[in-house]
Structure 1
Amino acid sequence: MNRLAKAARAWTIAGLENDFIFSKVMTDPAICLTIIQNILPDLAITRITPPLTQQTITPTNDAKGVRFDIATTDDHDNRYDIEMQVADHHNLAQRVRYYQAMNALDVYDKGANYHDANNSYVIFICCFDPFRLGAQFYSANKHLNEFPGYRVLDGATDIYLNASSHRHEVPAKLQTLLDQVAHRDSGQDDEFGVKLRQRIATVKHNKEWRADFMRLSLAEMDHEYELKEAKKQGQDQALVQLAAGLINQGQSADQVQDFLTSVMMVSPAQAREYYQQALRG
Structure 2
Amino acid sequence: MKLNIDHIEYPELQKAIKPDIDARSIRLDVYIKDNKNIVYDIEMQVSDTKELPERSRYYQGMIDLQLIDKGQYYKELNKSFIIFICPFDIFGKERHIYTFENICKEDNSILLGDGTAKIFLNANGTQDDVSKELKAFLDYVAGKKPQDSFADKLEEAVKEAKKNRKWRHEYMTLLMRDRENVEKGIEKGIEKGEEKLAKLIKLLGAENRIDDILKATNDKEYRQELYKEYHII
Residue correspondence of structure 1 range 19-58 to structure 2 within 5 A:
40-41=1-2, 43-58=3-18
**Of 133, 136, 141, which aligns to 2:93?**
133
Aligned AA (1:200): V
- Following superposition, the deviation at residue 57 of structure 1 comes to 1.2
Could you tell me which residue of structure 1 aligns to residue 148 of structure 2?
189
Consecutive unaligned residues of structure 2, counting only runs of 5 or more, are: 196-233
1:53-64, aligned counterparts within 5 Å? 53-64=13-24
Q: Deviations over 1:23-62 (max 9, x none)?
A: xxxxxxxxxxxxxxxxx42x53322222221111112233
Q: Distance in 1 between matches of 2:172 and 2:30?
A: 20
Task: Report the CA distance shift for 1:166/1:78 in structure 2 as closer, same or farther (over 3 A).
Answer: same
- Select 2:161's aligned residue among 199, 203, 217: 203
TM-score w.r.t. length of structure 1: 0.62
Larger RCO (CA within 8 A; separation ≥ 6): 1
The match for 1:144 is 104
In the TM superposition, residue 224 of structure 1 has moved relative to its aligned partner by 3.3
Shift of 1:164: 2.2
**Which residue, 25, 30, 34 being the options, matches 1:70?**
30
CA apart distance, 1:234: 4.0
Pairwise CA RMSD of aligned residues?
Answer: 2.3
- Structure 1: state its 5+ residue gaps: 1-39, 238-281
The CA distance in 2 between the partners of 1:159 and 1:98, in whole Å, is: 14
**Secondary structure at 2:99's aligned position in 1?**
strand
Q: How many residues align?
A: 195
1:96 is displaced (CA, Å) by 0.5
1:84 aligns with 2:44: yes
Output the amino acid matched with 2:161. Answer: V
Could you say which structure has the higher helix fraction? Answer: 1
Q: Structure 1 vs Structure 2: percent identity of aligned residues?
A: 34
Note the C-alpha offset of 1:149.
3.7
SS of residue in 2 equivalent to 1:208: helix
CA shift in 2, pair 1:174/1:236, >3 Å: closer
Larger C-alpha radius of gyration, 1 or 2?
1
Deviation at residue 100 of structure 1 after TM alignment: 0.8
Residues 81-109 of structure 1 show CA distances to partners (whole Å, capped at 9, x for unaligned) of 11111111111011101111122223333
